[in-house]
Amino acid sequence: MQTRTLGRTGLPVPILSFGASSLGAEFRSVTLDEVLGSVRVALDEGLTLIDTSPFYGRGMSEVLLGIALKGVPRDRYQLCTKLGRYDLTHFDFSARRVAESVDVSLHRLGTDYLDIVLCHDIEFVPMQQIVDETLPALRKLKEAGKVRAIGFSGYPMKIFRFILDQTDVDCVLSYNQFTLQNTRFADEMVPLLKARGIGVMNAGPFSARLLTNAPLPAWLKEPEAVKEAARRAAALCAQRGSDIAKLALQFSLSHPDIATTVAGSANPVNIRNWARWAAEPIDAALLADVQAIFAPVRNVGHREGLPENN
């Protein structure tokens, strides 16, 4: 698997990382065999950066990852976890909870350090606390050697400028905003992040199944016009003997200034397919035709979090 350097952290990360939210049964029930098999295949295929959170499965993802990684040499993988979001509506970004959360994650994951820790979905809280309290607490843990790199994650573009206008971080993670249909993250933020030496992480290349052939989840918030364009794009890919998911993944991996893209599944077959697709050249003609379908709804998204954070 090709690697890129995560900003000024010096961490070499695979262009495709393994998202472990599915291990927490966030989308469907999973078996222990699926969990163990998915982690094993991800590592074998070179998806050696694993992204998780105490929010995923309300701790289940971290616990099962700790089991799956038991006995695996620590230098064979990197761990990114998060803090601050612990349930759908339970957020706690206090300095005290920062220290507790990192220690709990270390215990669950069976390690003595975390490569990356991100403040999770900060758009749902008054964000000044992130600047004044959460990130300073994380810096202390970095100085103590428990964490190697710190940052934050979220959906609205406004959150990135709000934080970065006031303080510095090692890396950030955006989701669902560098895809075939929505490139706002690359258009609006990546040049600034690159200039600042901040590591760039992307997640959600399939935009919550929008850019796949799977049935759309009932909770998907994208407007109907976006969904309709996605259905037409998927049909075109099928007519050309391809899969929209393949094109979507390859597109998200293609940006040279995005260090890694996170994709998650508890299905080892999916992970093997992704690794194979990552190594294949993108179909430029198909990409151009799909982008033409999406042109009328390009960068159309939804609102997430507090109104003042959008």
Query: Where in the sequence numbering do the catalytic residues fall?
Result: 56
- Is the Cβ–Cβ distance between 267 and 38 less than 8 Å? yes
Residue 19: name the closest of 74, 73, 82, 88 by CA.
82
**DSSP states of 10-52:** --EEESEEEE-GGGGTSSS---HHHHHHHHHHHHHTT--EEE-
**Helix-helix angle 95-109:135-143, to 10 degrees:** 50
H/E element, 164: helix 158-164
- Is the Cβ–Cβ distance between 22 and 206 less than 8 Å? no
Q: What is the DSSP pairing of strand 3-5 with strand 12-14? A: antiparallel
Written as one letter, the residue type at 308 is: E
Sequence-distant (≥ 6) Cβ neighbours of residue 115 within 8 angstroms: 11, 49, 78, 79, 80, 148, 149
Q: How far apart are CA 10 and CA 16, in angstroms?
A: 17
Torsions phi, psi for 124 (to 5 deg): -90, 0
